[in-house]
Structure 1
Amino acid sequence: MPQNQKKSIWIISFLFIAFIIGMMFLGIKFTANHTAVAPENSNIIGGGFQLISPAGSIVNDGIFRGKWMLMYFGATRCPHNQCRKDLIKMGEIINHLENKASQLVPIFISFDSNYDTPSRLMLSMKTYNDKIIALTGGELALRDISILYHVSIKKAPINSDISLVEPYDQFILMDPEGKYRTSIQTGTETHRIVETLESIIH
């Protein structure tokens, strides 16, 4: 092979390797400096759903249009009775809203459909405010709504046979058009939650 041709091949190979190394360096630098930023559009939380009521009927999100939705995700049995405490608080919130309560629908979605069958859900909800609408669904339906509303489904093992659903620690408020408005920590004092809702609901 002529000397000039060998030299050309060597130069091309060197430039190619330099190009690859340079791209790798830029990629590492970009990754190190890049910070993920949540989209400004808050409507990424929320979406359509189709679940089952305690009466066994199919309920979709469309029937709540025109009303604010205060949503809570958990189960009728949770570690440390947290779901019970949160559902009692949800009922108290509705009672304290007074006139504005008619503009809001409190919705409880159980992620423990194996235990919270429609009949058991109906029985359990009798101990809470009767304005709370309880819903559950099959595994796929619950998985879909957990993704849409950014709510993770976590279970805490009690023993080898039983795992209890850990409730989501926020109430999610959706506006009358089904768009996300805000989230409120369930541990917030009842009167402060009521004040927040009264300032938003018109």
Structure 2
Amino acid sequence: MSVYKAHLGKLIVAAALLLAALVGYGAFQMASHSGTGWLVQSNGNAVGGSFRLVSLGESTVSEGDFHGRWLLVWFYDARTPLHIGRPVLASLEATRNALEAKGLPVTVIAVSLDPNIETDVAKAYVLPIAPHVMPLTGTQNMIRAMTALYHAPYKMEDGHFKQAPQVIVMDPKSHYAGMLDTSSDAATWIENIEHWAAR
């Protein structure tokens, strides 16, 4: 009898795992093919909102992971000549460090517009200049949906994706705070974020 119960228990566990896998796969397919509303939501924001991305360590990251912190979001392509991306990355790093020193908790994420970016390439592009900036990637559908939500371009230019001309700032409650022009310097960015934080 105990052998029968053990066998039955194994069958039940196997059936539950199969059902979970089928449900997960079905949800993934619906999200991938049923429009951007299944992938991202604005959550009432004029700009910005939800997302699910992957870190270079292969862990899943969502906007909820950054609640309680200011979040700066920039879209980049590691195939862009570094002299174009370097000033933005340097300003992101300087802004993050200055605000942290003033007691404002800040996380900066750089979202790859290329879903097939290799981990080593992304690290080599971002981390030597901005070691506190978190490079993230996602599926092509997620990136396309997210760029629309965050008002970033999603188009090829000179063999690479055009990098976003602005950095989106979300407050610690995941509400849209404002945009930072990438042609401005870190001092201007810091002043803007301090102004938004004081409101």
Find the partner of 2:84 among 82, 85, 89. Answer: 82
Identical positions, percent: 28
What does residue 120 of structure 1 align with?
Answer: 121
What does residue 20 of structure 2 align with?
Answer: none
1:187 aligns with 2:188: no
Task: State the secondary structure of the residue aligned to 1:73.
Answer: strand
What does residue 53 of structure 1 align with?
Answer: 55
Deviation for aligned residue 1:180: 0.7
Alignment of 1:33-44 (within 5 A): 43-44=45-46
What does residue 131 of structure 1 align with?
Answer: 132
**Is there any run of 5+ residues in structure 2 with no aligned partner, and where?**
1-43
For residues 160-182 of structure 1, give each alpha carbon's deviation from its aligned partner in whole angstroms, at most 9, with x where no partner exists.
xxx11211111111011211110
Alignment of 1:23-42 (within 5 A): none
TM-score normalised by the chain length of structure 2: 0.70
Aligned length: 156
What does residue 155 of structure 1 align with?
Answer: 156
Find the partner of 2:196 among 184, 197, 200. Answer: 200
Deviation for aligned residue 1:87: 0.8
Which range is displaced more, 168-177 or 120-129? Answer: 120-129
Alignment partners' CA distance in 2, 1:201 and 1:177:
12
Deviation for aligned residue 1:101: 6.0
Pair 1:139–1:98, CA change in 2 (3 A): closer
Pair 1:187–1:49, CA change in 2 (3 A): same
Find the partner of 2:70 among 68, 76, 80. Answer: 68
**Contact map agreement 1:91 1:129 (CA 8 A) in 2:** yes
1:94 aligns with 2:96: yes
Q: Which runs of 4+ in 1 moved over 4 A?
A: none
**Is there any run of 5+ residues in structure 1 with no aligned partner, and where?**
1-41, 158-162
**Contact map agreement 1:52 1:137 (CA 8 A) in 2:** yes
TM-score normalised by the chain length of structure 1: 0.69
Deviation for aligned residue 1:125: 3.0
Q: Counterpart amino acid of 1:167?
A: Q
Find the partner of 1:107 among 87, 106, 109. Answer: 109
Deviation for aligned residue 1:144: 1.1
Alignment partners' CA distance in 2, 1:186 and 1:113:
22
**Of the two, which has the highest radius of gyration?**
1
**Contact map agreement 2:153 2:163 (CA 8 A) in 1:** no
Deviation for aligned residue 1:126: 2.8
**Contact map agreement 2:100 2:106 (CA 8 A) in 1:** no
**Contact map agreement 2:74 2:109 (CA 8 A) in 1:** yes
Task: State the secondary structure of the residue aligned to 1:43.
Answer: coil
**Contact map agreement 1:67 1:105 (CA 8 A) in 2:** yes
